Every structure is written in structure tokens, then in C-alpha cells.
Amino acid sequence: MRILGVNGWPGASHDASACLLVDGEVVAFAEEERFTRDKHSYGQAPHHAVAYCLAEAGLGIEDIDFVAHGWEMPELLARRGLEWFPTTSEALEFLLPRSLFPRRRDPRLLFVEHHMAHAASAYHFSGHDSGAVLILDGQGETESATLALGSGGNLKVLRSVSPGWSLGYFYAAVCEYAGLGADAAGKLMGLAPYGTVQDTTFGGALRVHEDGYSVDAVPEDLLSHGRTDEEDDTIRLWMSRLEKVLRTPPNGVSRRYDPLLGRYVRRTDRDPFDYRDLAATAQEALEQCVLAMVHGLLRDTGESTLLVAGGVGFNATLNGKLMRLPQVGELFVQPLAGDQGVSLGAAGWVAAQAGERIRPMRGTVAWGPQWDARAIRQVLDRAGTPYTEPDDIAAHTARLLARGEIVGWHQGRGEGGPRALGHRSILAAPSPATQQDRINLTIKNRERWRPFAPSLREESGAELLDLDRPLPYMIVTTPVPERSRALMAAATHVDGTTRPQTVSAEADPLYHRLLGQVAEHTGHAVVLNTSFNGNAEPVVSSPGDALATFARAPLDALALGPFLVHR
């Protein structure tokens, strides 16, 4: 069975993506932003992503059995009194028009409840027969958190939390208050360890109970009219409450023309670093709420396996706390935890409903476009870019890293999600600590307090980080032992933790071999790995994207397939 999972609806979505599942196996996955270069692809349908998935499999849209959308769009709009299409055929034409996807017949269009799609992405692709499932995000159609049980191939919802009490929107409101922007949760998480925790109730607005929490700042039954979600109203109410209980006013934000750049840029009245205590307090409050929910969920289900998805699942610090809970024996956090992952989940849910066996994830999300050596050479020649072709690109790159150079690494299939995992990465030696400032301030043009993470061979995990399990997706933090802190000074955060990626030879043989070559020079199979992109830019996809970012950012070299470009 051929199932095309999609996320993204024209004018009403973010993180558009597409996933092609054939007989229960992922054949292709991609995010729209990688093609359009518009980060998060707000309000866009996944046209480029769908076209790629079909091309990768050599299929047309008429060869697809089901198109599974990761939102119950008819229900979402009807609940708010908004118009829907008279027929499913018209809805499909709006989503995937014939002008772009010619067809003699329509595949069947199915709408999957948003949190059910998230839950399916966590459960069906985890490799676990059973587990407690926790979904946390801004919101789905009628919920912001879902607690469920996955067992015997089925998902059973146990309880949910309404959008007004969304922890995702609470965290977004704090991001907005600090001047980072509502979609900057990763920045707030990185800022939190620099601050001191204060009143986690925010004057009684957020209270933790035995197996959950309650919110006083926003009505539990909040329903916004004329919109498809409660985000704006929830954030507005939280902002109002924060202004009343915090001594520091919200950070002012404006757009100002920068003559040097020749365009408008975002500016804040205060340095967001001034809000580090607020960040620490919000992070602690989030953790307290989620830990309470997880205690109750594990108690009620009798499970020790915890499966997590939804945008809040990108909070690696929280995930580290969950992994170290004594009640949690196994933790799987879907690396496509955000809305990009519901295309995967919607396809998986439809496949599971049809009784198909779904192949679990095996340490990689590299299902995107790739270019062979001939195509890359054509791009380089057309651009007039000088390059060499070393006998062994991994060995040559390892020598550059060992002598302190910072290298763009573009290899194989593109990865999904916000974390580059050795296919579209910027690599550097993980020490000295000054590497952090060099990459933050001169290459990625971002705040100096933003942390970095390491990639290491899976077999080095115990030696370097006392790991007793693989962590292949860079989505869980773990303490860095004292003996390894100097070795990974640029990839250890101020709180003594890091967010590692363990690399297996099976999942990524080339990257694994690169790490081994690095060890030949340094004694340790570990590098600093950050996503290959500039500030406010999606991760690079094509060789042309890589060359463009290389031209703007002062990297020392670019390993583009088998070719090496030096500055």
C-alpha cells in the first residue's frame, strides 16, 4: 500500500512536510522549507516536498492509495464556524492542484486527528510493542496535551488537556516576553541554565498537582472565533499575566533598517540575556508540570516505556529529566517531534489501521534528497568554484578538523527535523571552548550563549559520557562527566550537560568512519556538530544551498560529496 502523509494547509499551517510510506516502510520524507528556503514554511502546502517524495519513488499522484493529512481539517474549521469544501475532491484539489500534480484519478484523502498523528509517529515507529504515549505541543484540534497507551498495534487516548492550558503556548509566551519571538523555544531552553529559578507559579497562574497542573491565567475552555487555533489569545492572556507578576517589563521588539545589510532587521530594546532568570523559571515550571503528568501516566498504564512527540518534545533538557526518572526504563522521543512529523504519523496511522506492519526507525531520519558526484560536480563547475577531489573525503576532512578548521559537511540524503545528524552539518573540534564563540558569533551569527552538541561513535558513549544506551537523534541531554569536560569544552553547556548524537556504523557508515578518522588524530571519536545553516535560515538541502551558505559564512572548508572546497 502506498500512503502519502502530508502536513501543511494553504494559509493555515506551519512546518509543511510530506512522507511516502510504501508497505509500511519510509521511502522518502522532506520538509517544504528545505526547498523554498522559508523557515517553518508558514501557511504553505507541501508542494515541493510531495513532488520530491513522488519522484524519489518514481510515482505519480494517481499511483497513491491514500493521502493522509495530519490534521482533522473539516472538524477544525467546523468547530469555529469556518467554511469547508462541499466535496473531498475539491479539498484535494485545493491541497494538491492538478496543475502541479496531473492525474486521471484521485487518491483517497483522509484526515487524521493531529494528536493521533503525533501519537502514531511516536508509537508505530518506536519499535516498542507497548508504551505510555505523551503528546505535548501548542495544540491540536481540541487539545494541547494527550496522554495515551499504545499496545497491540492500537492507540487508546486516556485523557487530554485543552488548548487554553497549553504548555507549548505558555512557553511561547515567555519567549515572546523575553524578546526572542514566540517560535524560539530552543533559544529559551538554551538560555535557562544561565538564570536562577524564581516563582514557578508566576503568582499562582500555574500550579502543579499530583498528576498534572492547572492554569489560572487562561480559561480552560478558551475558544477563539475566526481563527483556526487559540495561539494568539492564549499568548496574549499569558503576556498580560506576566506583566503583572514580573518586575522586568516585556522586551520591546522593532524592525529597523540596517544600512550595512541593506534590509530591515529585528531588534530588541534589551538584550534577551537579561531575561535569563525568567527563562530558568519557565523551564523549571514546564519540567514540574510534565513530570507530574508522566508520573500519573506511568502509574495509570503500568508502563515503564515512555514515547514522546509534539513540539514540546524538542525540549532536550526536559527529555533528559524524563530519561533519568527511575520509573522510565525506555524513552523514545520522536526526532520529528514537531508538526513536520505528523506527515510521518498520519501515514503510519493509516497503515496501522489497514493492518500493515510498520518498520521502526533505526537511528536516522535521512530520507530526503541526495545528489550523486556527477550532479555535484556540475553545480561546482557551473558556479566556477575551485575544488579538489581527495582519495578519501572522510580522512581528509578529519585532518582539517584535527587542526582546528571548521567544515561544512554535505553528504548523502537530507535529514528531516531541525537537528543535523551528520548529513547537512557544520563540524568542528569540540575544544577549545573558544570554538563556541567562533561558530556562534562569526559563522551562525547568533547569540553567544547558544549551546552546541557533539556527535560521537556509539561505542564511545560509555567512555565519554557514561551512556548506557544509544542516543542517535540529539534530542536528549545528559551530564558530561568531569573527565570529558575539557575534551568537549565547546559542546558542554554552562550547566554541565550536553545533547549528544551517538552514531552507529549501521545507520551512517560514512559519518561513523569520519569520527573514527578524527580519533586517529585526536584520540577521541567525537566532533562538535551543528546544523548547516545561517541565522534564521533552514538547514541546507541542495549543493547550491550549501555553496550559498558557505559563501556567506566564514567556514574554512566545505566537504560536498566527494569534493572539497577550501576558503
Catalytic residue among 14, 115, 124, 423: 14
Half-sphere exposure at residue 225, Cβ-oriented, CA atoms within 13 angstroms: 1
Rounded to whole angstroms, the Cα distance separating 205 from 207 reads: 7
Whether residue 432 is preceded by a cis peptide bond, meaning omega within 30 degrees of 0, is yes
Contact 366, 421 (CB under 8 A): yes
SS (HEC) of 289-351? HHHHHHHHHHHHHCCCEEEEECHHHHCHHHHHHHHCCCCCCEEEECCCCCHHHHHHHHHHHHH
Rounded to whole angstroms, the Cα distance separating 60 from 246 reads: 56
Half-sphere exposure at residue 148, Cβ-oriented, CA atoms within 13 angstroms: 27
Residue 392's identity, in one-letter code, is: D
Return left, alpha or beta for 3; rule: phi > 0 is left, psi -120 to 50 is alpha, else beta: beta
Residue the block writes with cell 526507525: 361
Rounded to whole angstroms, the Cα distance separating 557 from 567 reads: 6
Rounded to whole angstroms, the Cα distance separating 335 from 32 reads: 17
Contact 213, 145 (CB under 8 A): no
Contact 234, 313 (CB under 8 A): no
Q: 251: Cβ–Cβ under 8 A, 6 or more apart, which residues? A: 177, 178, 179, 268, 269, 270, 272, 274, 275
Extended strands (E) in 380-481: 407-410, 424-428, 453-457, 478-479
Active site residue 14: yes
* Burial tier of 536 (Cβ tally within 10 Å: 0-12, 13-18, 19+): exposed
Q: Which residues pair with 560 in a beta bridge?
A: 410, 563
Report helix, strand or coil for 441.
Answer: helix
Rounded to whole angstroms, the Cα distance separating 440 from 528 reads: 12
Q: 247: Cβ–Cβ under 8 A, 6 or more apart, which residues? A: none
Residues noted as catalytic: 14
